[in-house]
Amino acid sequence: MNPNLNQLHPYPFQKIAELYQGVEPATKDLISFAIGEPKHKTPDIILEAVQQNLSGFSNYPLTAGSPELRESIKHWLIQRFNLGQSNITEDKNILPVNGTREALFAFAQAVVDNTKPNASILMPNPFYQIYEGAAFLSGAKPVFLSCTKETNFSPDFSKVTPAQWDDCQLLYLCSPGNPTGSVVDAEQIVQLIELAEKHDFIIASDECYSEIYFDEEKPPVGLLEVAATMGNLDFKRCVVFHSLSKRSNAPGLRSGFVAGDAEILKKFLLFRTYHGCAMSQPIQMASIAAWNDEKHVKENRDQYRLKFDAVLDVLGDVLEVDKPEAGFYLWPDVQMNDEIFTRDVYAQQNLKVVPGSYLARSVDGVNPGENRIRMALVATIEECIEGAERLRAFIKSQ
């Protein structure tokens, strides 16, 4: 067996299941704020496109996807991130993937040169657990950059030493962040692109929450967008990951894409020709319909806006919690042990949340998720309000 498998930590939800062992929850219907699985209705345009193209299951799809799908993604990128002056093409700069979870993991396996001493991957802390697993199994060392209230819940890149930048082969950037909802600003991204050029590493920007934001006049900035404004019109060292799971409420569609540096994507396509699963034609057609439509995306944001306002109205005076810049998570400070909080609110209110410490690693003896919980406001507004009321009752009982 691959010895690097021994370095993998249990996934957070496995640890939560162990935490709940022996706990008998309150006799109420379960409400879960735990899993970040969108519960809004999948748009009809997606379902209809799948149904109308079922015959496509009889053909092997191409790993690179159809020209039509790549074209629709290109137009979406140009419109969303102002890339009209860039050199982006559907043939060289875009690769459809079956969900970004697998692509984020596979990317590290393709780009890390583990024959070099001290090969490392930098990542935010707390983080999407795939980043850490990808680092371990690529043979690289994960380096955790803590995101705290003092840093506006973004990584403090000023703490990275020149030697650490030299050892870095890949930087995972997550903006908007999971679980903090923080957005890395354009000035910081400019600095990261300059560092990537100076120290010879690749930036992999996970932007899967980029379309869930609250100010319609201020969408989160993207890596390719900033690269283009710098004159990096070929996106050298820059690769982004996008998905329809959150944007279009279609997590089961397993549809996303990778875009950016053509030379990197050429090698990643070669890797995926051997390793990756190609997207079936019906899913490609449904994806084209989704990327070509913004109406359902705006309606999706409207629903999240209402839920956040309602939940924060319930919790604002009993919990230290701020509205995030984007995404669908709350990241409150519960001011007590997050494991005990998670276990007891489940026992007393049949409400599930995620302990913040399960989503992070200790750095210099400090876990930035300690005493925090993650709440995914993905259910109906009625369930979210009821869940918030239960949480309020639990906190007041303490």
pLDDT tens profile 117-151: 999 999 999 999 999 999 999 999 999 999 999 99
Average pLDDT in the 196-201 region? 98
Residues 87 and 136 in one domain: yes
Percent residues over pLDDT 90 in the chain: 94
Average pLDDT in the 216-225 region? 97
On whether residue 51 sits in a domain, the answer given is: no
Phi, psi of 228 (to 5 degrees): -65, -40
Whether 287 shows a pLDDT value over 90: the answer reads: yes
pLDDT at 146: 95
Residues 334 and 386 in one domain: yes
- Which pLDDT band, with edges at 50, 70 and 90, does 7 fall under? very high
On whether residue 46 sits in a domain, the answer given is: no
Average pLDDT in the 343-356 region? 97
Burial class (CB in 10 A: 0-12, 13-18, 19+), 132: buried
Task: Return the ∠ at Cα 366 (arms to 348 and 7), rounded to 5°.
Answer: 90
Task: Return the ∠ at Cα 362 (arms to 361 and 364), rounded to 5°.
Answer: 145
pLDDT at 203: 98
Quick check: 231 and 323 in contact, CB under 8 A? no
Domain of residue 277: give its range. 58-293
Mean pLDDT of the chain: 96
Residues 269 and 330 in one domain: no
Average pLDDT in the 171-198 region? 97
Whether 398 shows a pLDDT value over 90: the answer reads: no
Residues 180 and 145 in one domain: yes
Residues 180 and 265 in one domain: yes
pLDDT at 10: 87
Domain boundary among 272, 293, 314: 293
Residues 259 and 328 in one domain: no
Give the residue among 192, 350, 204 at the shortest CA–CA distance from 264: 204
Percent residues over pLDDT 70 in the chain: 100
Quick check: 185 and 326 in contact, CB under 8 A? no
pLDDT tens profile 234-273: 999 999 999 999 999 999 999 999 999 999 999 999 999 9
Q: SS3 of 69, please?
A: helix
On whether residue 211 sits in a domain, the answer given is: yes
Domain boundary among 241, 258, 293: 293
H helices, E strands: number in the chain: 14, 12
Residues 164 and 223 in one domain: yes
Q: Helix crossing, 381-397 with 338-349: angle to 10°?
A: 110
How many structural domains does the chain have? 2
Quick check: 292 and 70 in contact, CB under 8 A? no
Residues 74 and 132 in one domain: yes
